[in-house]
Structure 1
Amino acid sequence: MDQRTFIKTIALSETQKDYFIHYLVHPTSAFYHEQFLFRFEQRLDVTVTIRTLTEIVKRHEINRSIFVLEDEPIQKVYSEPILDFEHVASADWDDKTIRAYLNQELGKSFQLDKGPLFSCRLLDYKEMGSILSFKYHHICSDGWSVSLMLDEFTMIYQQLIADQELVIQRTTHHYADFVEWELNYLASQEGEEARAFWKKKLGGPLKRLELPMDKTRPSTPSFKGGISFFTCKHELRDEMIAYRKNHHYQTDVIYLSLFLAFLSRISGQDDIIIGVPRFGRPQKEFYSIMGPCLVMLPLRIKIPKNCSFKELARLVQEELSLCSRYQNYPFSLIAGELDYDRDKKYSSFFSTAFVHQKAIKQDGAYFVGNAQNTFQSNDLTISSYPIHKNISQYDLCFVVEKDNQQDILAGFEYNADILNEETVVKWIADFEAASLFLLKNDSENILMLKSQAKKDYWTKNFVHLPSFKILPEDGSSLSSDSTVFEREKFEITGLLSTQISRLAQSWDSSAFEIFMSTFLVLLHAESEKEDMALAFRADCDQLQKISFLLLRTDLSGNPLFSELVLQVQRKVKEAYQYKDGLESLLHGQPEPQILFEMNEEEPHSTIDFQFRIHESQGQLYGTITYHANVFKRETAQRMLSQYEYVLQSVIAQPHQRIRELVSHLNSQFLSNDDYEQLFL
């Protein structure tokens, strides 16, 4: 361990407090790691590179800091310029090997209480070039800080390599000055006005944006991500440029409006919060400091009914301008007062973001992203080295850049816990086609495209379903013309009902989802099918033109029962979001064989096998209504008994896997003949 002399103790900014809490919960996570990669056309001298980085660490206290928990979290600054640097002799490596190495480096954990929290790797690139990797933890840096570091690096390096006396403006401000400013701002009238603004702006019920997911969101996020890049088609590029000029909008307004229209279309939601980065340095003296000042502005857009793209763009411009005036208020301070169900495993109450990266010098710093921009910095020729991210902070982030060939390079960064790359690639094609339509037809209602997305959801999820038939049919002696329905029911005890409610609360789900998941386990035991689709309804008032919704479940891989509940929860939400598109799918299709519902009243239905959870005179019941020409009474009675057993088994051992539940069920309900067969 390096010997250090601590010279200063500093309070944490509100942003740093959030990062520190996340670190305490996920100490090995790379969620708040950032890596910037720069390719130099010339080979950098290793010794001079080390001297240059040492000078930079000396200049900025934030690069000589650790973060510890004493009575409260604090930042401790030490005097020694300790450097985490490695030179890699990689001239004969191909790009695949280089990217694998850099991804491995990105995943290595920082220790906030030990440091350093900034690392640099210098890789030899092919015959003459170099790749310089800056990696940092967000608690001590942001994108502006890295562009400052690049500017200082090239300036100092060029002086040292020429053996000149080091001439660079002295650092007069540090991150501690920003922390002091923030404390004063929060106590000021301006800070109180900003607090009131955001409480009103984010007031009322907030609903997290729910994208159509390929996979059930895990109970504990892995923060794995990916990014799919694309170059905008030239027709779309030209339309965006023309639209900006004709309507005098900032480029960000056009991008944001198109992305919001896309998000509304695929999610079915019209109240959307999207994160938009803002500079976050309220005074010019802070332009030269390194540290996490950048702000993710929670831009809330409520898209009106029958809204056109022209109206949406105007709304986005107004909201972006208004919200930017209050960007300096730390949103974590009011998050606890907002009306939304926050999943504390995730850092933010918004799950999507938009980032417009640039590669131009602004007041001494470079914004550099993934586009293949080549630029000069203190007479050194540099370009970004592209690499696909394997971490994502959001479910979906739209990243936009413009490269030197005037093409617009963009990307969808996505949460790999819930989305497959194939889906994201399809979304990109949809986004481009829809954006071109909206720009050319900006007076048309954007809901025209939304209704098609709702139809596409049902087509995608149910068009390849083998059959709606799940249970083997018994048949009976009744004539084929009969439409007789009979009922069997059982009583759900008050104790069992209370235990189900407690379990639902602990899983952040509902009793409906647990009752329905238990029924799916029973259907799986009866049919041995893993891919099943059934009708369901929980609130007939919301269905309007249709009498039920559809749910398709996947039990492959032997999931935990709790994972099945999460899958049901997600698909029920999606079904209600896209309910308006179901009617076209049902037209001409055979009726589902099975219906699950939880209603006080019993709406009429002709579905052959109906399972209903309902309350009567303060008592909860489960009732099977079945077509007597298709199913026998013994089948209904047996399934009621088995359902009650599975419910009790789930309560007794909530963390069982599906096959365990089925195995216990089968052994419990063996017939005498089956039992004897075990011993033959």
Structure 2
Amino acid sequence: GKLEFLGRVDFQLKVRGYRVELGEVEAGLGACEGVREAVVVAREDVPGDKRLVGYVVAKAGHTLDSTALRSELKGRLPEYMVPSALVVLEALPLNANGKVDRKALPEPEQLEGDARGFTAPRTPTEQQLASIWSELLGAKQVGLGDSFFELGGHSLLATQAISRIRQTFQVELPLRALFEDAVLERLAARIDLAVHAGSGVRMPPLVPVARTNALPLSFAQQRLWFLDQLEPGGTSYNIPTAVRLSGELDVGALRRTFGELVRRHESLRTTFRALSGSPVQVVAPASEVPLTWVDLSGEADGEARAQALAEEEVRRPFDLERGPLFRVTLIRLSDVEHVLLLSVHHIVSDGWSRGVLVREVASLYGAYSTGQPSPLPELAVQYADYAAWQRDWLRGEVLEAQLAYWKRQLGGAPHALELPTDRPRPAVQTFRGSSCSVTMPLSLRDALWALSREEGATPFMTLLAAWQVLLSRYSGQDDISVGTPIAGRNRTELEGLIGFFINTLVLRTHVAGDATFRQVLRQVREVALGAYAHQEVPFEKLVEELKPERDMSRSSLFQVMFSLQNAPLPVAQLPTGLRLQPVDAEGDTAKFELSLDMGDRGQGLSASLEYNTDLFDAATAQRILKHFSVLLEGIAARPDARVLDLPMLGEAERQRVLVEWNDTDVALPAEQGIAERFAAQARLTPDALAVVAPGEEALTYGALETQANQLAHHLRSQGVGPEVLVGVCLERTPRLLVALLGILKAGGAYVPLDPSYPADRLALMVSESRMSLLLTQQSLEGTVEAPGLPRYLLDAEAPARAGLPKDAPVRTAS
């Protein structure tokens, strides 16, 4: 075997969001040509910008070049593990114990501009683009050779980058452009070309509209309003947020905070009513927000009661016409511990909005509790302005061009994903649900993220591809459509609003069994980029135009959802000492059959599976997550394997399925075979039905035993006994069992010949087996071509067998 020393466990750290083992980097660097010694450290010479720096000493007679070293190292390690700077030393500094003195290693002369070839942006376009990336990615410096995704970018940040490029340069670039030209220098050149070509912004400006006329609903809002009309009082679209407040709380400042929050965001004071048969938004004047106060500080089970109240709040319905559609409850656990329950209807909010809400509450409370005014700038537009803008823009040629893509992409897709369920599907779709979760190790996340970078894909694309592979394996289908939410905020003006912007994309992938995972991932990447480029079509409009087969038992176009949370709720520590920590609030609904929500939580890769409890048991949902974890491990280890060859069973389950469940040995009497055991049963229950078939006479155990014995006596007279093979070509009737049992009682063995097989195959089977006799029936005469082979027509000769003995012949073989 081979033992490789990677270094001490305490030399593990996170750099730019990735877990890095310094020993592993040192081992890779030390294996490079001409390197005698290597040490790697993480330096933070610029505050907040931690980078890897490698120090090397050359072997005697060798000269080291940092550019060549870096190139060689890229072939050994993922990009994020390659040091930002390489420093060549004559010798490594040592301490008194003879060990490397890491603190004495010199500061590199140009940390950013060393081996990775950092070049500062030169043109105005490059400089402005670098500024956009720096703001979005939190990078202190962005050079011409930097890649957006290697700096920590993902699909959501890419969307924000494109919207900022649109606003800054007044050009329209597709999201695909950032994936195709992820390096700053190339993307800047592409922007310049677009500017010179006159690829100006085609979208109309988003501006405030007058509040004197009726305010229309957005397409997404209209769908939820319609669903509420069909089923008033439903809670499937409640969005709960629970925040734990630790520290001294100023309740007056908190009340003022929510008053300002509702004043800033019209959506939080909006209701909906029908006007001449069509729904409209009604924005109420700003007023004080009712804050429900619950004091549990004197109760021993306060924490449990608070959890119960949170679960009750999730199940409280909203009235879309009367409102309010935003509720606030404050639970006091002690002088320094409170839980804030926020509940809002999806028609005026979404997942992104939760983050906006928590951040603004933190900012406003921090100011008000210290006597300061609001630090937040006024919003340029409101959600009602967006709804009117969407209605005005997304129509005519613009809408038709977007719809044409989706009609091509989803045309001919299967009606449904046929997953095996634990119970029959209800005739009308239900929404009762539950969830289970698992956290996968950091090492798995790192490996999957590295695979994503290799393929120019995002982690979302890699995880979605894996999920679709699992769904294909579960369903036995190779055409898999999955829904996924997209933020829908591809304009900078929308990033700070609370409202219902989220849209749903249908991502369809063909999972061929002989395809490797890399091939599936590349297909998913193309499908996702195409969907991103046509994300403006509201899902509601897509259903309306595609007119999928109506099925009240399932959701339209897809039944399974996937999402990757790139924007987790923030944890805020206020100057007053108050800490805001989001708390998970469990619900008991499920919008789809299965919804997999994943996220990078720092401790590992989290996966939460929401499932419809009318279809699936909790054990099944947990097993799906276990299978998915094993599948991801297999993908990380062997991305070039065929998807059908990737594992899904863990060791314990594999042992149970392949070994324990197949351990069916039963001790039987040594001198009893099938014929003797059947005879014993016939003596016990002679009048019980043994075999029935449509349109045929049923046989009892006694009758079947008698007929088989009589046939056995006849076969004995024809020389059938041990080592003699008898062909059987019969239809599937009770007569077939008489033949098989009779042959065994005669001591022979049977060769089944399926009448549906091709004649050539049947003739080959007869020839290869060297059978001595063929049992068949009148309707199948001529089916088996075997000149010279004796034939016995079981149905035609039945009267002749009636006079033969009814007892079994004496056994001649053991």
TM-score of the two chains, using structure 1 as the length reference: 0.63
CA distance in 2, matches of 1:270, 1:395: 19
Determine whether 1:30 maps to 2:215.
no
Aligned pairs for 1:120-269 within 5 A? 120-125=328-333, 128-269=336-477
Q: Is the 8 A contact 1:37 1:131 kept in 2?
A: yes
Deviations 1:628-670 (A, max 9, x none): 9xxxxxxxxxxxxxxxxxxxxxxxxxxxxxxxxxxxxxxxxxx
Q: 1:60 aligns with which of 261, 265, 269?
A: 265
Report the Cα distance in structure 1 between the residues aligned to 2:543 and 2:286, rounded to whole angstroms: 38
Pairwise CA distance, 1:383: 2.2
Q: How far 1:327 sits from its partner (Å)?
A: 0.6
Q: 1:86 aligns with which of 259, 269, 292?
A: 292
From the superposition, tell whether residues 111 and 451 of structure 1 become closer, same or farther in structure 2 (CA, over 3 Å): closer
Contact 1:64/1:116 (CA < 8 Å) preserved in 2?
yes
Distance in 1 of aligned mates of 2:521 and 2:463: 9
Give the corresponding residue for 2:601: 403
Q: Read off the aligned partner of 1:403 and give its amino acid letter.
A: R
TM-aligned CA deviation for residue 113 of structure 1: 1.0
Structure 2, gaps ≥5 residues long: 1-210, 665-680, 682-687, 691-699, 712-729, 735-755, 758-778, 781-797, 799-814
Q: Does 1:276 align with 2:484?
A: yes
Q: Which residue of 1 aligns with 2:521?
A: 313
Instruction: Identify the match of residue 74 of structure 1 among 265, 280, 299.
Output: 280
Contact preservation (8 Å) 2:562, 2:595: yes
- Structure 1: give runs of 5+ residues left out of the alignment: 1-5, 360-366, 489-539, 542-600, 603-627, 629-680
SS in structure 2 of the partner of residue 228 of structure 1: strand
- The match for 2:305 among 65, 74, 97 is 97
CA contact 1:173–1:288 (8 Å) conserved in 2: no
Q: 1:480 matched to which residue of 2?
A: 708
| In structure 2, distance between residues paired with 1:173 and 1:482 | 93
Supply the AA of the counterpart residue of 1:121: T
Q: State the match for 2:587 in structure 1.
A: 389
Are the structure 2 counterparts of residues 274 and 126 from structure 1 closer, same or farther at C-alpha, using a change threshold of 3 Å?
farther
Contact 1:174 1:289 in 2 (8 A): yes
Q: Where does residue 153 of structure 2 map in the other structure?
A: none
Matched, 1:422 2:619: yes
How far 1:110 moved relative to its partner? 0.5
Kindly provide the CA deviation profile for residues 526-567 of structure 1, in whole angstroms up to 9, marking residues without a partner as x. Answer: xxxxxxxxxxxxxx99xxxxxxxxxxxxxxxxxxxxxxxxxx
CA distance in 2, matches of 1:8, 1:43: 46
For residues 332-368 of structure 1, what are the alpha-carbon distances to aligned partners after superposition, in whole Å with 9 as ceiling and x for unaligned? Answer: 2231443643334655431111121245xxxxxxx42
Amino acid at match of 1:386: D
CA distance in 1, matches of 2:732, 2:619: 47
Q: How does 1:543-622 map to 2 (within 5 A)?
A: none
Partner residue in 1 for 2:325: 117
Q: 1:413 to 1:12 in 2, by over 3 A?
A: same
- The structural deviation recorded for 1:125 is 4.0
Deviations 1:588-639 (A, max 9, x none): xxxxxxxxxxxxx99xxxxxxxxxxxxxxxxxxxxxxxxx9xxxxxxxxxxx
CA distance in 2, matches of 1:171, 1:128: 33
- Superposition map of 1:390-539 within 5 A: 390-405=588-603, 407-449=604-646, 472-473=689-690, 474-477=700-703, 478-481=706-709
| Pairwise CA distance, 1:85 | 2.6
C-alpha distance in 1 between matches for 2:289 and 2:346 = 18
Residues 242 and 310, structure 2, Cα contact 8 Å, conserved in 1: no
Distance 1:451 1:325 in 2: 34
Residue 217 of structure 2 corresponds to 12
SS in 2 for 1:479: helix
Using the TM superposition, give the Cα deviation of residue 267 of structure 1 relative to its aligned residue in structure 2, in angstroms.
Answer: 1.5
Q: Aligned equivalents of 1:388 and 1:314: distance in 2?
A: 35
Q: Give the letter aligned to residue 439 of structure 1.
A: A
Higher relative contact order (CA 8 A, sep 6+): 1
Aligned length: 473
- Would you say the 8 A contact 2:630–2:648 is kept in 1? no
Q: Deviations over 1:116-145 (max 9, x none)?
A: 011111222455222222211111111122
Asked if structure 1 preserves the Cα contact closer than 8 Å seen for 2:416 and 2:557, the reply is yes
Q: 2:328, 2:341 within 8 Å by CA — same for their partners in 1?
A: yes
Report the AA paired with residue 508 of structure 2.
R
Q: Secondary structure at the match of 1:260?
A: helix
Letter in 1 for 2:588: N
Q: Per the alignment, do residues 304 and 47 of structure 1 end up closer, same or farther by CA in structure 2, a change over 3 Å counting?
A: same
Q: Which has the larger radius of gyration?
A: 2
Matched residue type, 2:262:
V
Counterparts in 2 of 1:487 and 1:253: CA distance versus 1, 3 Å: closer
- The answer to whether 1:42 aligns with 2:221 is no
Cα deviations across residues 463-513 of structure 1 (Å, max 9, x unaligned)? 999xxx9x843345452347999999xxxxxxxxxxxxxxxxxxxxxxxxx
Secondary structure (helix, strand or coil) at the match of 1:10 reads coil
- Match of 2:215, SS? strand
Q: Structure 2 CA distance, aligned partners of 1:487 and 1:401? A: 58
- Greater shift, 302-311 or 231-240, is seen at 231-240
Instruction: Render the CA deviation track for 1:152-204: whole Å, top value 9, x for unaligned.
Output: 21222122211223343122311121112212222253332111111111111
SS of the residue 1:197 aligns to: helix
Whether the aligned pair in 2 keeps the contact of 1:309 and 1:442 (CA below 8 Å) is: yes
Cα 1:36–1:281 shift into 2, 3 Å: same
Distance 1:287 1:80 in 2: 22
Distance 1:95 1:246, change over 3 A: farther
Displacement of 1:72 in angstroms is 1.0
Q: 1:215 to 1:160 in 2, by over 3 A?
A: same
Label 1:30 to 1:50 Cα distance change in 2 as closer, same or farther (>3 A).
Answer: same
In structure 2, relative to structure 1, the CA distance for the partners of 1:487 and 1:444 (3 Å cut) is closer
Query: How much has 1:451 moved relative to structure 2?
Result: 10
Cα distance change of structure 1 residues 341 and 451 upon mapping to structure 2, 3 Å threshold: farther
Tell me the CA shift for residue 98 of structure 1: 2.2
375 and 272 in structure 1: CA distance in 2 versus 1, 3 angstrom threshold: farther
CA 1:21–1:229 in 2, change beyond 3 Å: closer, same or farther? same
Q: State how far apart, in whole Å, the 1-side matches of 2:535 and 2:439 are.
A: 31
Instruction: Give the 5 Å matches for 1:326-345.
Output: 326-338=534-546, 340-344=548-552
